[in-house]
Chain A
């Protein structure tokens, strides 16, 4: 038996007995190490041999090296397999133990709902317009056809600073300001923001609230366009099964004017306790912009017409998230706010 065969056999025996990667590492070094490995040393006197023998020895050494390397790899794989085979037991954890609370905060539910509404309407090409909350009598009332003494005026009982200055009762003044600023239609805007009315706080209303109003001014707009826009908005927010109905109503700034209702999400329109057996939930008001209001915004009603709508963000959030008391939104109890 040649020296190389002897070495190989010896190495294979050691490999078979090894039980860890480090043992295998030692064996590898012992036999195959570059300077002093036993297989390497076989070749130490190779220079003095005649060419024929030299070739034979070289070949034998290489073969031994390959065999040992192969055996090392195989044993490594074997050991790794054995190790992974029982981690199911050795490394098992109690997966029912809870994770630690993340300690993160929450974005206000009204911000979230407002953003959803904005996104839906931005998809239709509407852009957000903002305006002051302390408004002049003209922008809040006169420009919207609600002059002093108007019978409808009592619906917008307002907080005043001076006879000329008040907290806006709706975001409609922003519509007027936007028309004056943009000047030339097409105008497609939405006006989210805080509003104020002199109503004592209760579960269904507050003296402060937030609205989103929308305004489209273009050529040849119709009641059908207004209905479609509302339907698109409602279905995008609440689901495709929802229906919208417009009911004639009265606002001084639109003609014709409507209330718009959404089919009840609980009973689907057949009537239940939560919709007071009407099948519909009142959402907001809408209508075709009154020609005088267009004129007040600097738009010629001979060439352009428009539609507008508005509703409370709180009411949307209430029906979306099943909130029964509007005061919760502004009370800032974290037990409520952290639910969203």
Chain B
């Protein structure tokens, strides 16, 4: 909402309070001034044209003026011819910067000196007229232009949705007056000036079919108006607020909207269809299917039964609260008008405005929900302005259909509550004074409580806390000392580290292993998920912004593949990244319930294109995952051959802890990489982390061994299909109690082993907790192990 400082000064004495001070006061009251724009006219002076001759030498049409500046006469050249002798004009002297940003200099034009510039309205930012020099209505040569036209200052205020009353200058001025503790000039409810016969209600027939959508409709008749341009001051105020002047009648409705926040509309009475009684009719009803209306913006719109319209006896003439129709509009030829001041339901106007794709100054106010009492105030204010500025005759006793009268709201307040909530002592008299300044009526009851009646334009105040807020914001929250809460609690919850913080142990392992954490959007392309065949549990947004963000991801892997692709495109080929985030899995069949949102850890690493490079990277990722799980305190996990979407069918493992499958690890399927246009190979792991945290245990210290260990290496040659884990299990079983650890450290294929075979090298560590083992003892165990491996896995030894 754009507010003119000068307009505010109609209602509150702003002596000593500049635009910047006013902005600060309003911001502190809750009307945030987002920007302050000042048009400074103090440097521009009034000049009187004494002489005007055509430039004798210039080929372009130019005029040479002699201008009286009070204490001297200067020669000024201009292109526009309208500054005839005797005109009062705004003059910018050399060295001055004109409001539009132009710096004026001494010039010499074709041999003639030009000592300044005559300004147009556009150059002074007082309007968009650049056709000629602005001719002033009054002024004394040599005086500052400010003596004729006040400097303009406008503020862009963000009005919160609970305060539609502040979407007009009067409401803003009321706040300012309360904040400055200065009186507000003028009453909320102006006097009614209509006296002409017959009564207005006998000149038009008004009915409301939808009282839930329109709680009040005032239709006032004013006859004999002279439609023409508005006076300069009114045009200037409208322009300052970003509204283009049209004609005096329409301008006044806009003026009252900007002053009272009550939208108004005017119809040309003669263009309203008459009913059987011979009177023009106004029906507030829903549109009928197929009805259309050509609106004031020249666009013909199709109406639906959801929309509330103003109709005459036959057809819609306006979309209620949004925009009027062209056919019934006021024109130069209009003499008799019907002034509409109505109260429409907020949700209804919002929905209609959205459907017709038009948000107007009117709809923006109705949307917030306006009080019905405001309609009367706005109507009265407009009537007297029209009578004054357009010369109409206002008829008495207007049609005022008011099926849902506004109920007064009373709020009880225990005055001590103010101090209790704010945490500062506000003297009772001050609290009461603040409420009164804001037009609240305060009555102290016998029990000490206050019975408070908010003003009719404050529908937002309904509970005691609302009153505390009113007092607080005017008293000043800067005066509330900051404190920390503290009392003796006899109840508490023991502190537990958050899930995120517990997972930091894994983050540290990953950082050490060269993985960088990423945060990727959860909304991804549903099409991409389908192509990867991971869309079975996907949830699709019904009102997506675009199709690359229309579905919740069911796996973190595709996001991280995209991260690799992005970084590859930006010149980084080796990428190790991870993410910890939720995925979203709709229950199969029923997509209406809340999804499961398992928290997952996913890591990916690129590697070379050769098969062996992928194999090595697989085992490297295994080390990373094992370290993460170990540092999270989880028991040892096992890897079981598996197949899963996204993964290479021969290089994929299910990760299992205590019989519970956490997810998968493996090389990504070549088609996944191809879809992302990536070369080489990539290893990924994606697991649920909540089960890991659940299984986590506090690490217990083991006593350090007291006796030395004996290590033996064993190279086992077996057929390719035999798994290292199976050999390990066989070794453990055959070895008995002295085997402390059996670790596979090398896998070999090549000339040293037969075709279809591999050699796996183990380091075996033997130790007794009670004594030093002898070589002979270990030799015997080794023989047992060999025998067992030969028998169970047809192993040979190198």
Residues of A with Cβ closer than 8 Å to B?
A: 103-108, 110-111, 114-115, 118, 122, 124, 127-128, 130, 132-136, 148-149, 151-152, 155, 159-162, 164-165, 167, 182, 184, 186, 192, 194, 196, 198, 200, 207-208, 210, 216, 218-225, 227-232, 244-250, 255-259, 288, 290-291, 305, 329-335, 337-338
Contact = CB atoms under 8 A, between A and B. Distances in A.
A248 B518 contact: no
A329 B519 contact: yes
A291 B463 contact: yes
B523 A151 contact: no
A230 B492 CA distance: 22
Contacts of B575: 334
A325 to B, nearest CB: 15
Contacts of B513: 104-105
Contacts of A130: 498-499
Contacts of B491: 184, 186
B162 A107 contact: no
B465 A134 contact: no
Contacts of B653: none
A320 B106 CA distance: 50
Given A167-B541, A305-B421, A218 B487 contact: yes
A246 B162 CA distance: 18
A247 B26 CA distance: 10
A230 B592 CA distance: 39
A160 B541 contact: yes
Contact of B496 (A103, A105, A127): A127
A337 B30 contact: no
Interface stretch (B468-476, B669-677, B678-686): B468-476
Interface in B374-408: none
Contact of A133 (B473, B482, B582): B582
Chief secondary structure at chain B's binding surface: loop
8 contacts: A105-B513, A105-B578, A128-B500, A130-B499, A222-B424, A225-B485, A248-B28, A249-B32
Interface residues of B, number: 90
Interface in B462-516: 463, 465-466, 468-469, 472-473, 477-478, 480-485, 487, 489, 491-493, 495-496, 498-501, 504, 507-508, 510-516
Given A219-B487, A250-B161, A255-B466, A105 B515 contact: yes
Contact of A335 (B489, B496, B508, B570): B570
A103 B605 CA distance: 13
Contacts of A186: 489, 491-492
A337 B472 contact: no
B510 A105 contact: yes
Nearest to B368: A151
A259 B34 CA distance: 13
3 pairs of A and B residues whose beta carbons are closest in the complex? A222-B423, A224-B423, A248-B30
Contacts of A216: 485
Contacts of A208: 521-523
Interface in B44-102: none
A105 B485 contact: no
B540 interface: yes
A227 B499 contact: no
Q: Which of B28, B421, B592 has the most CB of A within 10 A?
A: B421
A134 B595 contact: yes
Contact of B421 (A107, A222, A244, A259): A222
Interface string B27-51: 1111010000000000000000000
A159 B541 contact: yes
Interface stretch (B544-552, B631-639, B765-773): B544-552
B420 interface: yes
Contact of B517 (A106, A159, A194, A331): A106
Interface string B345-389: 011001000000000000000011100000000000000000000
Contacts of A132: 594, 597
B374 to A, nearest CB: 16
Contacts of B368: 151
Contacts of B493: 127, 182
B561 to A, nearest CB: 11
Interface string B567-596: 100101001111001101000000111110
Contacts of B549: 207
Interface of B: 27-30, 32, 160-163, 346-347, 350, 367-369, 420-424, 463, 465-466, 468-469, 472-473, 477-478, 480-485, 487, 489, 491-493, 495-496, 498-501, 504, 507-508, 510-523, 539-545, 549, 552, 563, 566-567, 570, 572, 575-578, 581-582, 584, 591-595, 597
A184 B492 CA distance: 10
Contact of A128 (B485, B498, B521): B498
Contact of B420 (A110, A124, A222): A222
Given A223-B422, A225-B423, A256-B465, A160 B496 contact: no
A2 to B, nearest CB: 51
A151 B367 contact: yes
Given A148-B347, A248-B473, 16 more contacts: A105-B514, A106-B516, A114-B500, A115-B504, A122-B495, A132-B597, A133-B597, A161-B540, A198-B545, A208-B522, A223-B472, A244-B482, A248-B472, A248-B477, A250-B161, A250-B162
Given A224-B422, A225-B485, A334 B523 contact: no
Contacts of A103: 514
A159 B572 contact: no
Contacts of B347: 148-149
Contact of B487 (A148, A167, A207, A220): A220
B597 A134 contact: yes
B519 A330 contact: yes
Contacts of B350: 149, 151
Contacts of A200: 545
Q: Which of A128, A134, A152 has the most CB of B within 10 A?
A: A134
B771 to A, nearest CB: 34
Contacts of B543: 159-160, 198
A245 to B, nearest CB: 7
Q: Which of A130, A218, A248, A330 has the most CB of B within 10 A?
A: A248
Nearest to B549: A207
Contacts of B567: 332-334
A136 B517 contact: no
A334 B569 CA distance: 12
A61 B190 CA distance: 131
A255 B465 contact: yes
A258 B477 CA distance: 10
A161 B484 contact: no
Contacts of B519: 108, 110-111, 210, 329-330, 332
A229 B592 contact: no
A256 B522 contact: no
A134 B539 contact: yes
Given A160-B543, A250-B30, A124 B484 contact: yes
A47 B371 CA distance: 130
A225 B481 CA distance: 9
Contact of A134 (B27, B492, B511, B594): B594
A171 B422 CA distance: 26
Given A219-B487, A224-B422, A207 B465 contact: no
B523 A165 contact: no
Contacts of A305: 421
Nearest to B567: A334
Contacts of B517: 105-108, 111, 337
Contacts of A162: 542, 591-592
A69 B587 CA distance: 87
B650 to A, nearest CB: 28
B483 A224 contact: yes
Contact of A247 (B30, B495, B552): B30
Nearest to A218: B485
Given A105-B515, A107-B507, A128-B498, A332 B563 contact: yes
A154 B290 CA distance: 30
B422 A255 contact: no
Given A161-B542, A222-B420, A248-B473, A255 B482 contact: no
